[in-house]
Amino acid sequence: MHELRKDPLLGRWVIVLKEESLGPESYSIGEENPSPDEGPCPLCEGNEKNTPHEITAIREKGTEPDTPHWFTRVIPNFHPILQIEGELNRRGVGMYDAMDGIGANEIVIESPEHGKPPADMGLAQMHRVVSTYKARIFDLQKDPRFRYVIVFKNYGYSAGALFSHPHSQVVATPIIPKRVKEELDGAKLYYNYKDRCIFCDMMREELKTAERVVMENRSFIAFSPYAPRFPFELWIMPKKHSCAFEDISDEEMEDLAMMFMTILLKLRKLLNDPPYNYVLHTAPNRVPRRNHWHTLGEDFHWHIEIMPRLVRTAGFEWGSGFYILPTSPEDGAKYLREV
């Protein structure tokens, strides 16, 4: 079993792959850009027997699990970084803290067709993908061992994609990731000071100035944040205040699917199909904790962060935490609006 270890200085956790620890020969520092998969694709329709047993799927009526005729399909990761069976076994290792690598690591197969992502299959298919995310978060949050469920997509080899077939991932962790906790704590401090949601204030400011807004519809706004980390970074945020993605309504899912599809097509056309990551930031599992999350429903606001991988993160960024933007968010939003 893999292991989670806590950095005592920064308070962040890392996952140590003890069971699959690689030797130096496994690492390549060349500039090649190989395909992330070789041979027949196990994620394609018709190859269901080449994957782990499906967890759930949106499929045609009357069809059985692990057979063709599905629209989206969720399977365990072939090489999961966290294992769903077992207990956390929290322990001290001298001055350090560790626990067993308990969690969930799932692959969401977004399309039955290898070369056709949901954005090219139309609104109905993108809606199915969004609906699958909601269902998986709702189900995984029932497990009291899991503190956080993160949904993310790595598109392109340099962005960390496992396969070239359209897919994303869902990971449930026994701790709240440090990056998310910083957002939660920042939102809580702002709410304690102003008695307002910082995300709602950001959205009102963006709509007022309109400089960084890329598009909006009846339920969502897509904008370049004022101080992004990456050029052409975008956030998608619901106009109605809500801390938890799994509370999204059917009408909102339809609007999100339309916005998601449009934004991804804009990025492809403007930036020549760049590699990118997107991450859903939603509320943690709302297990009552002393002095924590009592105002979560008022101070946090779920959102999706989309980050094209256009520049390399180098020593200055890693060492300082500063990011350098070769394109301003105002110009980035302008270019995307015009596509």
Q: Is 292 a catalytic residue?
A: no
User: DSSP letter at 22?
Assistant: P
Buried b / exposed e across 29-59, counting CB within 10 Å, b at 16+? eeeeeeeebeeebbbbbeebeebeebbbbbb
Distance CA 143, CA 56 (A): 17
Q: Which of 165, 167, 281, 303 is catalytic?
A: 167
Nearest partner of 203 among 185, 188, 173, 225, judged by Cα: 225
Question: Which amino acid appears at position 254 of this protein?
Answer: E
Distance CA 227, CA 207 (A): 16
Q: Tell the residue number behind the tokens 């690689």, with chain if given.
A: 22
Beta-ladder partners of 16: 3
φ/ψ of 100, rounded to 5, equals -70, 155
Distance CA 162, CA 37 (A): 7
User: Which own/partner contact pairs does 88-97 have at CB distance under 8 Å and 24+ positions apart?
Assistant: 88/145, 88/174, 95/8, 96/5, 96/6, 96/8, 97/5, 97/6, 97/8
The residues assigned a catalytic role are 167
